């Protein structure tokens, strides 16, 4: 992301805030941490989806 792309940075920051709020709510409702292999798999799939979206 270009340092000059303020619009995208604002959007990404808002997404991060929303994700943090979602995590806090899930934890307050008793959510448990995912096992490390599952976290790794989800991170890899997110990378695949991001790469595909970029190329499409």
Is residue 1 within 8 Å of residue 8, measured between CB atoms?
yes
User: Is residue 4 pLDDT above 80, yes or no?
Assistant: yes
Q: Give pLDDT, residue 18.
A: 98
DSSP string across 3-55 = TT-HHHHHHHHHHHHHHHHHHHHHHHTTPPPPPHHHHHHHHHHHHHHHHHHHH
User: Is residue 1 pLDDT above 90, yes or no?
Assistant: no
Is residue 8 within 8 Å of residue 16, measured between CB atoms?
no
Q: Give pLDDT, residue 23.
A: 94
User: Is residue 28 pLDDT above 80, yes or no?
Assistant: yes
pLDDT one-digit tens code per residue, 43-52: 999 999 999 9
Q: Could you tell me if residue 33 is left (phi over 0), alpha (psi between -120 and 50 degrees) or otherwise beta? A: beta
Query: pLDDT class for 55, splitting at 50, 70, 90?
Result: confident
């Amino acid at each position: 992301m270009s340092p000059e792309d303020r619009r995208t940075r604002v959007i990404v920051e808002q997404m991060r805030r929303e994700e943090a709020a979602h995590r806090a709510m899930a934890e307050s409702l008793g959510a448990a941490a995912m096992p490390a292999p599952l976290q790794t798999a989800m991170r890899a799939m997110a990378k695949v989806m991001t790469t595909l979206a970029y190329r499409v």
